[in-house]
Amino acid sequence: MAGSLNKVQLIGRLGADPEIKQMVNGKSVARLSIATSQSWKDKSSGERKEKTEWHRIVIFNEGLVNVVQQYLKKGANVYIEGQLSTRKWKDESSGQDKYSTEIVLQGYNSSLTMLDSRNSGNNSNIVSENKSSLPNDNISQENTDLDDEIPF
């Protein structure tokens, strides 16, 4: 379909340490849970209200998985760009179809940026993007010195 777009951009905090697993093909995958919140003042009571949404993030790019494994911990503030994807599987115990909607970082225009300040002990502003000339190419992380990517 011409003119369609599937892009998700989030800024939020990790609700738990990242989960890194090995796939059958030997490559690693990272799973994150990111919280985003909005707050407002209730018109009738004047009380401050807040709503938190939890987002499942799945990262297939090995370079990004390495960055996640090395630098991210529970509470880290991150910016991510990816695509919305819903997967279906059959629950082995009940035989019912189950669905999960996730933000997937793989392929074109996926990125992860750490937003925590350097003063807090974390490396910041590490931007890793997936780049591939064809959708079926092996997506690889560019081997560059990450400090060279920081514009200041």
**pLDDT digits 0-9 by tens, 56-86:** 999 998 889 999 999 999 999 999 999 999 9
Highest mean pLDDT among 83-87, 128-132, 142-146: 83-87
* For residue 145, pLDDT beyond 50: no
Token pair of 110 as six digits: 């996926």
User: pLDDT band at 108, cuts 50/70/90?
Assistant: low
Per-residue pLDDT at 130: 45
Q: Is the dihedral of CA 37, 38, 39, 44 positive or negative?
A: negative
Q: Provide the residue ranges of all domains of the chain, joining segments of one domain with +.
A: 8-37+50-149
The H or E element spanning position 65 is helix 62-71
Residues 39-59 as b/e (b if ≥16 CB within 10 A, e otherwise) read eeeeeeeeeeeeeeeebebbb
- Residue 102: strand pairing partners: 85
Per-residue pLDDT at 2: 78
Per-residue pLDDT at 126: 43
Could you tell me the pTM of the whole model?
A: 0.71
The CA-based dihedral angle spanning residues 26, 147, 75, 108, taken in that order and rounded to the nearest 10 degrees: -50
- Write the secondary structure of 75-109 as one string of H (helix), E (strand) and C (coil): CCEEEEEEEEEEEEEECCCCCCEEEEEEEEECCCC
The Cα 95–Cα 109 span in angstroms is 36
- 8-37+50-149 folds as OB fold (Dihydrolipoamide Acetyltransferase, E2P) (2.40.50)
**Chain-centre distance of CA 48, in angstroms?**
29
